[in-house]
Structure 1
Amino acid sequence: MSVFLVQHGLSLPKLEGPEKGLSEKGREETLKIAEVAAGYGVKISQIFHSGKKRAEQTALIMAETLCPGLAPEQMADISPMDDVTGLGNRLNPSSNHMVVGHLPYMEKLVAYLTTGREAPKVLKFQNSGIVCLDQDDSGWFIRWTLNPNIS
């Protein structure tokens, strides 16, 4: 059982898509990562997203691949500049929840969970990348990451 954090897929440039939905490359990379995660047997019980178009589209691709029939839900207070302590203190490692959000929020959340502070950064997210976190007696730790660019 774990918690999965995802940075939304690569979005369109602001001029092409004022609402900044996913680019074609963003859709492709998100689907590729979701398929790899499914191949490894990743199980998700619920997916949450920020409500921004690019995060919602990423969450939908993850849901269709990892848990068909499950509808992602919008979650408040996970926008790029929101305080991470609220969600950080509510996360349950046995939930198998996935949260799709934005930078710098996601990087600050991982730092807060693993060190108790939002800085310094302990992990560099990639668009469409998944970070799996778990908890033991000593606290939260990064179990694994799955990213589209490994070089």
Structure 2
Amino acid sequence: MESIYLIQHGKAFDEKIDPERSLTPEGISETTAIALHLAKINVSVDVIVHSGKKRALQTAEILAKHLGVKSVKAIEGLNPNDDPSLIAGRLSELGDRVMIVGHLPHLSKLASLLITGNPNTQLIKFRYSGVVKLSLTNGQWVIEWYITPELIKY
């Protein structure tokens, strides 16, 4: 395992409007912009994993399309309130370069757990379609960069 990309799903419809919580047009647009930017800076991943929820699947599919990733799969342990240690313990099984599309508060807790060992230390304020790259350096996960849709508009 050399790097992981943690991305919060794109903006989705409220459950009252769409019980499956599909991505909104804005969510699709912002996720596409992020995917195009990641392709432009030559991000390469072996696999994109997601929670299986529709909004995460749609986000993963947009990313896969623009990054040329063939392997997109739903896995257990990525739901909003899942224990982040479950996926942290399985990272090496997923590949060297993995993109995880998930939800809050899980993503925030996973990032904090990997970097500090404490899932309750909030280090990153995730945003819809925002992506953080973590790299493994001398046995320690570090934040390499964080990109949001707002940052790539300029």
TM-score by length of 2: 0.92
**Shift in Å at residue 145 of structure 1?**
1.1
**Pairs aligned (count):** 150
Structure 1: which amino acid aligns with 2:57? E
Distance change (3 Å), C-alpha of 1:45 and 1:4: same
Q: How does 1:97-136 map to 2 (within 5 A)?
A: 97-136=98-137
Q: How does 1:65-144 map to 2 (within 5 A)?
A: 65-68=66-69, 70-92=70-92, 95-144=96-145
Residues 18-76 of structure 1: per-residue CA shift (max 9 Å, x gap): 110100000000000000010000001101010000000000000000125x1410010
8 Å CA contact 2:46–2:71 kept in 1: the answer is no
Residues 83-111 of structure 1: per-residue CA shift (max 9 Å, x gap): 00121122249711111000000000000
8 Å CA contact 1:10–1:127 kept in 2: the answer is yes
SS in 1 for 2:34: helix
Please name the residue that 2:14 is paired with.
Answer: 13
Q: Matched residues in 1 for 2:24 and 2:100: separation? A: 20
Please name the residue that 2:26 is paired with.
Answer: 25
8 Å CA contact 1:113–1:140 kept in 2: the answer is yes
8 Å CA contact 1:10–1:25 kept in 2: the answer is yes
Structure 1: which amino acid aligns with 2:14? P
SS in 2 for 1:58: helix
**Shift in Å at residue 126 of structure 1?**
0.8
> After the TM superposition, which parts of structure 1 deviate over 4 Å for at least 4 consecutive aligned residues?
none
Structure 1: which amino acid aligns with 2:79? S
SS in 1 for 2:89: helix
Structure 1: which amino acid aligns with 2:63? M
Q: Matched residues in 2 for 1:20 and 1:83: separation? A: 22
Structure 1: which amino acid aligns with 2:16? L
Q: How does 1:28-43 map to 2 (within 5 A)?
A: 28-43=29-44
**Shift in Å at residue 140 of structure 1?**
0.6
Distance change (3 Å), C-alpha of 1:71 and 1:89: closer
TM-score by length of 1: 0.93
